[in-house]
Amino acid sequence: MEPDPVLLAEARTALVREIEASGVWRDDPGWRESFRAVPRHLFVPYYYLGVVGGYERLWGEDPDDRRRTRWLRGAYADAPLATRVRDGELVSSSSQPSLMAKMLVELDVREGDSVLEIGAGTGYNAALLAHRLGDDHVTTVDLDPEITESARRHLTAAGYRPAVVTGDGAAGCPERAPYDRIIATCTMSSVPGDWLAQCRPGARILAPLATGLVALTVRDTEHAEGRFLHTPAYFVPLRGGGARAPQEQHIGGLPRKALQNELFRFLLELTAGSLDPHEALALWQREGRPVRERFGITVSGAYEWAWLDDPEGPYVWPL
């Protein structure tokens, strides 16, 4: 059932205008055309809205006109959409478009770059990359064969054919290497060494970690370093061989005001398993409640550590 063409055009135009108004494309307006051209509704033929006690499913083939209109408007809202729920747990989603736009700008692609995406999701992000760079320059990997199969269908329906690979994202995709850029759309607990080994020198890695986005520059197959962006980011965790069990933190006795502070929660996540939460609070207060951009990550062979201000300074924590 085809959506109303007038409503579709209005919804897509409104989304592009909303993202543009945020100023995210000021440094790289080339992404505007990708968002204008790629039809997001083809990548979310159905999705779930959280309601009390569960989820409400909206889909494009609903016989009810009003619900079908809600689905289409929601598909072009600047909001994340739950696309796969298993046993009441969110397994996959389509990220908020403005955050996707921010990440794509920060990826800093150039014509001819080869990009590896970790986490295929609906395929929408891979389509945006393929529109900008061409199908042959984009590879997207996901552990779940159901996710990769649906992403492949969505991409084909939209007219894009990047490489869609079923596999462990932590292992990258060596058969398609080397890469100039790697972008992850799932939360990491560390930076897999296989990614560096599959990158060209000077490559850029952008990945969610500890409710933030870290942008690393790869020096060689064993060394990379970079800082966090100011942007907060919440994604479904990586699954597979590179996934780690969340560290249990004993936060009893911490002030509620501190725990409600988003930047302090970021520091707690970043230092989990390495620094006692009360020590983290003391550091946070002593250093003037540091923002994300003051933190960074260094990878050197088998060692990875997070740091505040200086990778060789007094405040460093192993990942």
Provide the annotated active-site residues.
92
Contacts (Cβ under 8 Å, ≥6 apart) of 128: 31, 34, 35, 38, 100, 104
- Of the candidates 97, 86, 94, 99, the one whose C-alpha atom is nearest the C-alpha of residue 14 is 97
| DSSP 8-class letter at 40 | G
Strand segments (E) across 111-263: 115-118, 138-142, 163-166, 179-184, 199-209, 212-220, 223-232
Rounded to whole angstroms, the Cα distance separating 126 from 314 reads 40
Rounded to whole angstroms, the Cα distance separating 297 from 306 reads 4
Max Cα–Cα distance, the chain, nearest Å = 62
DSSP assignment of 45-61: SEEEEEETTEEEEEETT
Rounded to whole angstroms, the Cα distance separating 259 from 147 reads 35
